[in-house]
Amino acid sequence: MKIFSDILFTLSARSIRLNMLRSILSALGITIGVIAISAMGMLGANMTSVVSAQMSSMANTMTVTAYTGGSSGGWSPPGMGGGSNDDSYITDKQYDDIYQIASRYGTVYPYYSESDTIYTKNDQKGRATIYGLDKEDMQTVLTVANGTLPRSENDVVVGTTLAGRQDLEVGSRFKIGDEDEQQIKVRVSGILAETGLSSSLRTDNAIVMTDDLYTSFYGGEGKYDQVTILLDNVNDSAVVKNALTSKLNKREDVISVSDSSSMASRVTESISTMVTFMQAIAAISLLVAAVSIFNVMMMSVTERISEIGILRSIGTQKDEVMRMFVYEALIIGLIGSTAGVILSFIAGYIVVALLIGSTAYFFGWNSMMYLPIGMVIGVSICIVTGLYPAWRAANMDPVEALRAE
Amino acid sequence: MTSPIVEVRSITKVYSLPSGDVVALDNLSLTIEEGEFVAIMGPSGSGKSTLMNQLGCLDVPTKGRLLIAGTDVRTLNDHDLTQLRLNTLGYIFQRYNLIPLLTAYENVEYPYILKHRKQDDTGHVRDLLESVGITRKMARHRPAELSGGQQQRVAIARALVNNPRILICDEPTGNLDTKTGNQIMDMLSDLNKKGNTIIMVTHNPETAKYADRTVIIRDGRIAV
């Protein structure tokens, strides 16, 4: 049986038309609920996409630091320099072991790091992280935006943020070290490209010098603060981690290995928790809409008691009466949800553009799927809330119903 | 001789109310032959409406046997009772009871669609409306736009659309002026002459004169 030529459907549609305002208002409730649910979902999906895209570029980074006890497994972002504790370092021998195991899976490089005072033009004081890196490793790890990598003994490269803040250019000279202690004079040979959060070595706010210059000034040769492993394949991280810990931590824990993929998944997880929470709030608006649909349906049933009596007395089956009222809820649901889906598309686009600043992932399935989901939720809620009133109508005693004014 | 179309054998209808049971029909028996025109009269509260509800299969008796066209309605479930109302019975009410959302034409077509599961393409509905004096122009109007007499004509057409074996009329002229009421009664009388069985409740003796036989109900029993 075709629904749209169905006389029961005609009756439902006409009943809605007769009570236009009331029906529109309750459809509006559903519209708002669907917008809330879908737009929140799309916002969350886009946020996750953007963040995980940013994260995936660093997901192949593993860091090895000396085991300090306590918060083992805690992930310290690469480049934040775990070297503040002078007693904990990776020895040359440990590095050799790490290199032997991990070099098959990607690039392995150790570095020194320190935080120190610097004096630039006119003795302007500042502070920066200082990294010591092997010359060859510099070529793999660093990207110079301006100038070159260190060529002569006292050359350093500086991060773009630091350069901007301290007014450093290629060729600038400045001093590192406290005034009343030993200082060295260095020359800027290059400014590094911006790395943001997604690099294995965050150099935006740092000075990078050769390991020779570093150890000649700070000492501690062969006592690395961190070893970084850049995996060729992200999926190898567990294998590498196991191999490293089983070899080096055989007798006692001497190193901690962490990979950023676990952090990426934690960030994605917390975004989805937040989105679920927002959607739960949005669901309240749908609940309110459901109550309003229920109310409208009950009113419709009550107003049409005598009509139900007539329909039943002239041979309409219970399930047909029930269907008639479910159709009514369905029509309200379809109108409300369709409007909701169209508006969610618009509202979602605006919210994503404003809050995330990128609509690159907006038209992807992960984001677009919230439109059909919103539609299905909206329509289902209408049908479910319409069921009880429809059941009431269907099970009315025809004699009683006929007697009603 | 053929078996009677309606056979009421000592039926009792008891309503349970918080204040106690009310016996609306008390061991009542009645037989109606096919093609008869029976008027049922009685003061209000006598149980005539209850009897009509039983005869019209809107309700089932508490005790006794009620055979409509040979079927004991007490053995039927709600679905089958509804089918019986759709196929075997036609109703004409005092308040016309047309469906306000449908036009006159659609009101008549409605039971046809329920029975045949399709719209009428035979012209049956249109012919019926014409036979009760409803023009095509009038048939496009909603019930509220028609006069009482016109509405009752539409109701008669609706009652006839599935060719019922029994017409149940509950005060069919109760809401009409004498002249219109007489027109309606003439129409029912014609239908009876064409072979329709008519059972009519009325409290107007003038209307009852159209019937072959008048049954008087008092206190849930037939008064002789």
d(CA B176, CA B147): 10
pTM value is 0.71
Cβ contact B101–A18 (<8 Å): yes
- Tokens matching residue B67: 């055979």
Residue A132 sits in the same domain as residue A37? no
Place of tokens 């019975």: B89
When scoring A314, A319, A321, A325 by the number of chain B Cβ atoms within 10 A, the one with the most, hence best to mutate, is A314
pLDDT given for residue A194 in this prediction: 83
Residue A177 sits in the same domain as residue A223? yes
Please provide the average confidence, as pLDDT, over all residues in chain B: 93
**Three-class SS of A171-194:** CCEEEECCCCCCCEEEEEEEEECC
d(CA A209, CA A216): 11
- Is there a contact between B114 and A315 (Cβ–Cβ < 8 Å)? yes
Shortest CA distance from A402: residue in chain B: B97
d(CA A226, CA A125): 27
Residue A122 sits in the same domain as residue A182? yes
As to burial, measured by CB atoms within 10 angstroms (0-12 exposed, 13-18 middle, 19+ buried), residue A252 is exposed
8-state DSSP, B123? S
| Chain A CB contacts of B99 below 8 Å | 11, 307, 310-311
Alpha-carbon torsion A285, A286, A287, A291, what sign? Answer: positive
- Is the CB of A15 inside 8 Å of chain B's CB atoms? yes
Residue A304 sits in the same domain as residue A355? yes
Is B12 inside any structural domain? no
Is B123 inside any structural domain? yes
Shortest CA distance from A1: residue in chain B: B117
User: Averaged over B21-37, what is the pLDDT?
Assistant: 93
Residue A354 sits in the same domain as residue A217? no
Cβ contact B111–A7 (<8 Å): no
First to last CA, chain B: 25
Is A326 inside any structural domain? yes
pLDDT tens digits along B50-76: 999 999 999 999 999 999 998 999 999
pLDDT given for residue A80 in this prediction: 46
Is B119 inside any structural domain? yes
- Tokens matching residue B96: 């016309």
As to burial, measured by CB atoms within 10 angstroms (0-12 exposed, 13-18 middle, 19+ buried), residue B221 is middle
- Is the CB of A310 inside 8 Å of chain B's CB atoms? yes
Examine the fold and report which residue of A232, A255, A288 is the final residue of a domain before the chain moves on: A232
Tell whether the model's pLDDT for residue B9 goes beyond 60: yes
Is A304 inside any structural domain? yes
Cβ contact A14–B111 (<8 Å): no
- Is there a contact between A147 and A157 (Cβ–Cβ < 8 Å)? yes
d(CA A250, CA A263): 26
Residue A224 sits in the same domain as residue A372? no
d(CA A35, CA A32): 5
Is A308 inside any structural domain? yes
How many structural domains is chain A composed of? Answer: 2
Residue A198 sits in the same domain as residue A337? no
Residue A109 sits in the same domain as residue A221? yes
- Is the CB of B71 inside 8 Å of chain A's CB atoms? no
| Chain B CB contacts of A400 below 8 Å | none
Is A239 inside any structural domain? no
Q: Ramachandran region of residue A222, left (φ > 0), alpha (ψ -120 to 50) or beta?
A: left
- Is the CB of B87 inside 8 Å of chain A's CB atoms? yes
CA B140 to chain CA centroid, Å, is 25
Shortest CA distance from B79: residue in chain A: A317
d(CA B189, CA B206): 13
Residues 312-351 of A with CB under 8 A from B: 312-318, 320
Is B157 inside any structural domain? yes
Residue A174 sits in the same domain as residue A286? no
Is A86 inside any structural domain? yes
| Chain B CB contacts of A14 below 8 Å | 101-102
Residue A305 sits in the same domain as residue A356? yes
Is A261 inside any structural domain? no
pLDDT tens digits along B132-160: 999 999 999 999 999 999 999 999 999 99
| Chain B CB contacts of A320 below 8 Å | 114
- Is there a contact between B206 and B177 (Cβ–Cβ < 8 Å)? no
Residues 6+ apart with CB under 8 A from B17: none
Is B212 inside any structural domain? no
- B105 is in which domain, residue-wise? 98-163
| Chain A CB contacts of B115 below 8 Å | 315
Alpha-carbon torsion B25, B33, B212, B191, what sign? Answer: positive
- A46 is in which domain, residue-wise? 3-54+266-403
pLDDT given for residue A183 in this prediction: 86
Tens of pLDDT along chain A (405 residues)?
455 558 888 888 888 888 889 889 889 989 999 998 898 889 888 888 888 777 766 667 888 888 876 544 444 444 444 444 456 788 888 898 899 888 888 889 999 998 888 988 778 888 889 999 988 888 888 888 888 899 888 899 999 888 888 888 898 889 898 887 788 899 999 999 887 655 677 888 899 999 989 998 888 888 898 898 888 877 788 888 888 888 888 888 888 888 766 677 777 788 888 888 888 888 888 888 888 889 888 988 898 899 999 999 999 999 999 999 999 999 999 999 999 999 999 999 998 999 888 888 899 888 899 999 999 999 999 999 999 999 999 999 999 998 886
**A228: nearest Cα among A140, A155, A158, A160:** A140
**B172: nearest Cα among B121, B63, B97, B120:** B97
Residue A307 sits in the same domain as residue A369? yes
Cβ contact B114–A15 (<8 Å): no
- Is there a contact between A399 and B58 (Cβ–Cβ < 8 Å)? yes
Is B65 inside any structural domain? no
Is B143 inside any structural domain? yes
Band (B197; pLDDT cuts 50, 70, 90): very high
Instruction: Quickly count: other Cβ atoms within 10 Å of residue B69's Cβ.
Output: 18
Instruction: Quickly count: other Cβ atoms within 10 Å of residue A100's Cβ.
Output: 12
Facing residue for B53 by CB, picked from A18, A312, A399: A399
Q: How far is A21 from chain B (nearest CA, A)?
A: 17
Is A335 inside any structural domain? yes
d(CA B167, CA B191): 10
Q: How far is CA A136 from CA A31, A131, A149, B34, B199, in A?
A: 61, 14, 10, 112, 110
d(CA B177, CA B149): 9
Residue A50 sits in the same domain as residue A65? no
Reduced to 3 states, what is the DSSP secondary structure of residue A46? helix
